[in-house]
Amino acid sequence: MNAIEFILAGMLAAATPFLLAALGELVVERAGVLNLGVEGLMAFGAVLAFIIVYHGGGHLLGFVTAGLGSAALSLVFAVIAIGFRANQVATGLAIGILGQGLSALFGKTYESLTVKGLPKLAFPWLSEIPIFGRLFIQDAVVWLSLAATFAIWAMFAHTKTGLVVRAIGENPKAAHAIGYSVIAVRFAAAAFGGAMAGFAGAYAAVVYTPLWADGMIAGRGWIAIALVVFGTWLTGRIFLGACLFGAVSLMGLAAQATGLDVPSQLLASLPYLVTIIVLGIISADRRLLKLNGVASLGEPFEH
């Protein structure tokens, strides 16, 4: 397998933690709420899933537990930031730190232990295409994440639910005036975003690299938040961005495999360097950000 085949084979799997967390944050931000605690929510979901799977509960139960646990932690954020109208940036950061702390506490006795991952599922016929066929040999969670991407795109583009969420993010007072509960929708969005971050952490811990190590989320939550801006709050662009970061995260391993004499620390930092560069480029185009941005993002709702 050459470097290109290696990156194509692993790109979607490497992108999945970014994608799941970013899709959840997209829904949260579309509702006008900024949750910067994604890193901690992912870490908390990761440790819950690992504990369940390690003790024989199975991957499905692990993912469900991770989703519920991170959703509950995200609702703590919602109560403080949405219910009591505290500063969303400070509250999100605090919840993120709490999630990482709980992850370190619960995972301390599981350090360096491993679990069994999920088998790969090949897409008939397409998986036999030379070189590119490796894209169609993935585990079940990757296929489900692609389905979730399409479902969220369809929700925002073609359903009343998506329209209500967008309306609350753009003009919450107008949405409230015509009878929609801004607080309830924002609470639901926060819970959904937390659950998706939990799923992302679970995938990282029990499927992608099925072992436990403190700090294993390694900034993926922050990149997921950046991906929402990178994709200018559009589902398709977020998916493409996740694939880009997934590919970049594998380039270091591919370079080492080819014998390229580059410091491993530099190769490991590639996803973060790309994040900074891309955000800088996108931020320079204020017209694009204004066109697709969320008008009331981060602003408390008062009525």
In-domain check, residue 129: no
pTM above 0.85, yes or no: yes
Residue 299 lies in a domain: no
In a domain, 257, yes or no: yes
Task: Indicate whether 47 belongs to any domain.
Answer: yes
SS3 178: coil
- 126 inside domain: no
Report pLDDT digits (tens) over 269-296: 877 888 888 778 777 777 766 777 898 9
DSSP 8-state assignment for residue 293? S
Which pLDDT tens digit goes with each residue over 228-269?
988 889 999 999 999 998 988 888 777 766 666 667 677 778
Rounded mean pLDDT, 97-109: 97
Residue range 99-110: mean pLDDT, rounded: 96
Inside any domain, residue 297: no
Pairwise CA distance, residues 156 & 152, whole Å: 6
18-30 per-position pLDDT tens digit: 999 999 999 999 9
The residue range of the domain holding 260 is 3-119+134-292
**Per-residue tokens: 267:** 């190769």
d(CA 66, CA 40): 12
Most confident of 2-16, 174-188, 248-262, 272-286: 174-188
Domain count, the chain: 1
CATH number of the domain within which 214 lies = 1.10.3470
Q: Is 302 contained in some domain?
A: no
In a domain, 86, yes or no: yes
